[in-house]
Amino acid sequence: MAIDDERWVVFGTPVRNSGEDGRSELATSLATIMSAGERPRIAPADVPAEWTAC
């Protein structure tokens, strides 16, 4: 993984996933954790920005 990251920086090739992709994945994971603890279902967009799984 780190080697691929270095190649993108050194050679200027585009990355496979954008920051928005990462944000979407994080929101989905947090929604899953929040749903398990608080509600039967919650959409990723409904997770408050300040909410953490800790």
pLDDT in tens, the chain (54 residues): 455 667 777 787 777 777 788 888 888 888 888 888 776 777 888 888 887 777
pLDDT score at 2: 54
pLDDT score at 5: 64
Answering whether pTM is above 0.95, one says no
The type of residue at 40 is P
